[in-house]
Amino acid sequence: MTHHNSPDFSDDAPVATSKRAKGNRELLATSVTINRPVSEVFDAFRDFAQFPSFMENVERIDILDPKRSRWVVKGPGGAEVSWLARITEEIENESLTWQSEEGADVANSGRVTFRDAGARGTVVTAMIAYAPPGGVVGKLIAKLFQREPSVQTRRDLARFRQRLETGEIATAARNRAIFAAEVESN
Amino acid sequence: MRALTWHGKHDVRVETVDDPDIVNPRDAIIKVSSTAICGSDLHLYDHYIPTMKAGDILGHEFMGEVVDAGPGSNLKIGQRVVVPFTISCGSCYHCGKKQFSACDNGLPADNQDIARELYGQPMAGLFGYSHMTGGYSGGQAEYVRVPFSDVGPIVVPDGIDDDKLLFLSDILPTGWMAAENCDIEPGDIVAVWGCGPVGLFAIQSAFLLGAERVIALDHFPARGKRNI
């Protein structure tokens, strides 16, 4: 929640735990703890082609080479946006850092870290910096469509955890026809 | 199938709706033989619970027969089961500690936000109890889709009446847990406030846990005459 008028309610917590982002900072971070060993979680995440199975608005990811991939994402109002992402640093079982290449519809960069939490499994933290399409107006439109990136990222990570921990992604759809209609409307 | 659907405050209707089927590998489909109305259903009927949508199927206390099971379920077609009202994955940290109501994965990801704000973290899903608990179709219906069906349902033998088993779904364990939380020791005298259905099960549970005497209190004189 942002507070545009004084007094200043912004906090100085790390971005993964901050309740009140400062102004229009286009930086988000979210964490999830997954009840699986760090190597299994890292390997599952590194399989970028599988992202559409838990990232609701990712249409597809084309793997170009081990470090480069093209992301095709559903934007606000059904618009399709895409970019080329390059892995700039990869430390096995610890972190992945990426940067979008020149010409991206939504310029973005970020880092995902994987921390061994012993009996609790693995803490996955995603930090993403991005330039929303159309600046502030685009971000407001995105919120209307539930595509606000911090909400989207939190839900995507929850689905990633469900896939790893349960082998499936929870849905309340009563039958396959309703499920297909929900997927279609997303 | 026919099902009890919610349409607003004091407006529930038995309607014809689409049948459920297997969506995820661990699902099972139950043909309901008995279902109960919980006191908590009154909160939906009186519209005290937010995030209800017109057409939602109510009911979280039910039992019946397995008529279909996905490849990830351990249930077999024809088995008789009582279904607990919580939807829990069985494989997250909390389920591993038998804290099934705190399950990390029972709620669809899109339905976790309200629980996270209210309780600090998501909780298990519930059948037929608003969208903040998952938006799952409930058991006051002819058929129910039961997710994670290898975790919750209790297989029960034939030859015992539904009425003696149905309350395993919610209300008996609720009364039992109230008594269990009292750390009752043999010879204790226990007081139970409220003699509605949960109270009656708390009274019986207190005796089973070793109470020598149970004093039951209630505002409704008729309840005091009940023989238990």
Q: What is the pLDDT of residues B124-156, one digit of tens each?
A: 999 999 999 999 999 999 999 999 999 999 999
Mean predicted lDDT score pLDDT of chain A:
84
Residues of A at the B interface (Cβ-Cβ below 8 Å)? 33, 35, 120-121, 151, 155-156, 158-159, 161-162, 165-179
- The neighbouring-strand residues paired with A60 are A72
SS (H, E, C) chain A: CCCCCCCCCCCCCCCCCCCCCCCCCCEEEEEEEECCCHHHHHHHHHCHHHHHHCCCCEEEEEEEECCEEEEEEECHHHCEEEEEEEEEEEECCCEEEEEECCCCCCCEEEEEEEEECHHHCEEEEEEEEECCCCHHHHHHHHHHCCCCHHHHHHHHHHHHHHHHHHCCCCCCCCCHHHHHHHHHHC
Starting at the earlier edge strand, list the strands of the sheet with B11-16: B11-16, B2-8, B56-57
Q: What are the chain B neighbours of A173 within 8 Å (beta carbons)?
A: 23
pTM of the model: 0.88
What pLDDT score was predicted for residue A10?
65
Rounded Cα–Cα distance for residues A134 and A140 (Å)? 10
> pLDDT tens digits, residue range A151-179?
888 999 999 999 999 999 999 999 999 99
What pLDDT score was predicted for residue A1?
44
The residue assigned the tokens 């058929």 is: B143
Question: Has residue A57 got a pLDDT over 90?
Answer: no
Question: Has residue A25 got a pLDDT over 60?
Answer: no
- Over pLDDT 70: what percentage of chain B? 99
A:B CB pairs within 8 Å: 87
Least confident of A2-16, B60-74, B94-108: A2-16
Q: Which of A54-58, A139-143, B54-58 has the highest mean pLDDT?
A: B54-58
> pLDDT tens digits, residue range B166-212?
999 999 999 999 999 999 999 999 999 999 999 999 999 999 999 99
Q: Across the interface, which of A166, A170, A174 has its CB nearest the CB of B20?
A: A174
